[in-house]
Amino acid sequence: MSQENIFLFFVIICFISHSSITDILFLIFFVGNILIKGANVRFEFMLPYQIKEAIAKNIPVVLPIGVLEYHGEHMAVGMDTLAVTKILDRLESQMEVVILPPFSYGAASYAVAAPEQSGTLHVDSAALAPLAEQLFTGLLRIGFRNIHGVIHHQTENFASGMPTDLAFKIGARQSIFKFLESTLGEAWWGSKDMNDYYSKHKEGTDPFNWIKLHPLMDNEIINNYIFDHAGEGETSLLMALAPEAVEMSRISENNTWYTKSAKNSSSEKGELVILQIIKSLINRLKK
């Protein structure tokens, strides 16, 4: 038993001997989360042996993707990235996963607000696609074959695509094609070793499933939640995930149509949709 576990055990004994049943139940929940999280290491903190273990176990590797964009006077500009990273903070206590450092410099666009003094930081999708290709190629070369990008920006149009998710989708496809050609040679798909391609494709185990992109909220959640931009839906979500990034007292400073419903926000509404998002993501990451 490690020194940390001995210390934790000692604290538990002391706590139980002087606590009510409610306090004990809380401690069980808290310690349970610590022990589960212990199996999950953020990529930047991983040692080579841990990376080898993650590859061998084919653990999902997740890249949080967002933008920096104006979300009214009452919300932080990092809303889209924070929604993903804070959800993943909670998700990692429920499944084994490797979480990469987040990418926040997506194609925000200036459709909502001009950049001057608003905080919107836009990087064109033409610059993002080759960057995404290089990033995914690097992950493939490391040995990962269960890579996922999770994005929250303009995802009501995820099926048809918007600049940021399309750039990462193109980058993912390009990296897989080039990686396979560099490792297997030209005409790799036509070789006899690929005669089971369509059966593997049906199972979702072919090479083009090595990298998948997901919206933070799936269609069912979007259709049943208050999906918006800086209104009741997003404000409630961020109030639950990162309350320090919301100042409700500043809602009156807004003069935009899309923020009018923000006054109806609550962290309780946010918590309800968070449960749905985590359940959906777990199912999608396990496929």
Domain residue ranges of the chain, discontinuous segments joined by +: 1-38, 45-286
DSSP letter at 213 equals E
pLDDT of residue 60: 98
pTM assigned to the model? 0.86
Residues 175 and 133: beta-carbon distance below 8 Å: yes
Q: From the centroid of its chain, how far is CA 228?
A: 19
Write out pLDDT tens, residues 178-199: 999 999 999 999 999 899 999 9
Tell me the H-state helices in the chain: 3-17, 21-37, 48-56, 79-91, 125-142, 163-184, 197-203, 219-224, 232-241, 267-286
CA distance 281 to 87: 10
Quick one: pLDDT at residue 22? 44
Q: Please check the confidence at residue 212 and state whether its pLDDT lies above 80.
A: yes
Examine the pLDDT at 33 and tell me if it is beyond 50: no
Does residue 248 have a pLDDT over 80?
A: yes
pLDDT at position 287: 78
CA-wise closest residue to 113 among 254, 249, 233, 251: 254
Among 189-193, 233-237, 263-267, which is the least confidently predicted range? Answer: 189-193
- CA dihedral (22, 27, 28, 30) in degrees, to 10, reads 130
In CATH terms, 45-286 corresponds, of 3.40.50.10310, 2.60.40.10, 3.90.1640.10, 3.40.50.970, to 3.40.50.10310
**Helix, strand, coil in percent for the chain, rounding step 5:** 60, 10, 35
Strands 61-65 and 147-151: parallel
- Model pLDDT, residue 20: 59
User: Over 60: is that where the pLDDT of 37 sits?
Assistant: no
**SS3 at position 50:** helix
pLDDT tens per residue, range 68-96: 999 999 999 999 999 999 999 999 999 99
Residue 126: which pLDDT band, with cuts at 50, 70 and 90? very high
Residues 6+ apart with CB under 8 A from 52: 143
Question: What percent of the chain clears pLDDT 70, i.e. is strictly above it?
Answer: 86
Give first-to-last CA distance, the chain, whole Å.
35
User: According to the model, what pLDDT value does residue 18 have?
Assistant: 57
Residue 181 backbone dihedrals phi, psi, to 5 degrees: -70, -35
